[in-house]
Structure 1
Amino acid sequence: MVQIEREKSFKAENVLSLRRKITQSQANEEMNKIAKYLGENNLKQTGPIITATFAVDSGLSEPLMDMEILVPIDKKITSPAEYKFKDIFHIKHAVHAKHVGTPATLHKTYNDLFTYLKENNLQQITTAYNVYIKNIESRQPADNLNIDVYIGVNPSVL
């Protein structure tokens, strides 16, 4: 079981956001498009990439995910047509776990977090946000992922 911490937070400023329904292969294409957009507009990534999956439709040949990709950048911009700009992304009162390993074992980290929430009577109020500590574009072996997973919980004691 992974080590789980409470009352954690994560904050990023000047965040480029893309949310849409995409397949895993399209998600990789979108990451490349974002990198190209940053380069073409003289923008620099200033922090780790953050992803969140809100829903999955697995009734297709390749699962379709309602996914958001967030990239912290070095300055404020006006929102381009394809993306949204967020002044700040801040998750508070979260449970946190560090996942080190392959994408195939990430579900075990999620399961540990969900079990922890249930055992501690915590009310989940956000989806899981994956903060990629080792850049997912670094072309390092997939079994070398380092992801901080945050799930926001209701801070009220009911």
Structure 2
Amino acid sequence: MKKNNVEYFNLVRYRNWIRQEKLSTLYDELNRVINGNNAKKCGPLISCTHFLRKNGEAIELDFEIMVPIDKDIPLTLEFCMCDKFYIEKVLDIHVVTSKFSFEKEMTEINQYIRENNILPKTATYSFLEKDDNEMIDTHIIFGI
């Protein structure tokens, strides 16, 4: 765990309500938009679930996703450009684990936060460094 500031510039951003089962489609569309405009990612995939609600049987998320890129690109209504993402005095919890253990790791992190009376001042963001078929390498970050 580290305490730093986090700052990224020139991000493609999405924030809206989305059904949980449509998240992979959203990630695919984000990659299509970036690659289709010959832009390059220059930072991690940043995501945050702000709220959850149940709509019948479906779970809907107030979901935000951002990716820093190397240039401005024309975007659809679904995505927008964000000049800057900044969080001051962050608690950065680096998690490297198997996909199967990720939920367990997150439960342990939440327990640690409760037991140590840590009160986040911002939403909790995930900064995804690597996600393959076996391992997840991410940073769980929030302002304190």
Give the length in aligned residue pairs.
Answer: 144
The CA distance in 2 between the partners of 1:12 and 1:86, in whole Å, is 10
The CA distance in 2 between the partners of 1:147 and 1:56, in whole Å, is 21
**CA displacement, residues 40-99 of structure 1 (integer Å, 9 cap, x when unaligned):** 222221221111101112454342111111111111346642212111112221112122
Alignment partner, residue 126 of structure 1? 122
Alignment partner, residue 61 of structure 1? 57
The CA distance in 2 between the partners of 1:125 and 1:27, in whole Å, is 26
Structure 1 residues 28 and 49, CA, compared in 2 at 3 Å: closer, same or farther? same
Question: Whose strand proportion is higher, 1 or 2?
Answer: 2
Structure 1 residues 130 and 146, CA, compared in 2 at 3 Å: closer, same or farther? same
The CA distance in 2 between the partners of 1:116 and 1:78, in whole Å, is 42
Which of 11, 15, 34 pairs up with 1:15? 11
TM-score, normalised on structure 2? 0.83
The CA distance in 2 between the partners of 1:58 and 1:147, in whole Å, is 27
Where 1:125 maps in the other structure, the secondary structure is coil
Q: CA RMSD in A?
A: 2.3
- Is it true that 1:146 corresponds to 2:142 in the alignment? no
Which of 41, 45, 48 pairs up with 2:41? 45
**Which amino acid in 1 is paired with 2:139?**
D
Counterparts in 2 of 1:48-127, with a 5 A limit? 48-58=44-54, 60-77=56-73, 80-103=76-99, 105-127=101-123
Task: Tell me if the contact between 2:99 and 2:136 (Cα under 8 Å) persists in the aligned partners.
Answer: yes
Where 2:143 maps in the other structure, the secondary structure is strand
Report which stretch shifted further, 73-82 or 34-43.
73-82
The CA distance in 2 between the partners of 1:150 and 1:33, in whole Å, is 25
Report % sequence identity. 24
The CA distance in 2 between the partners of 1:89 and 1:103, in whole Å, is 27
Structure 1 residues 95 and 108, CA, compared in 2 at 3 Å: closer, same or farther? farther
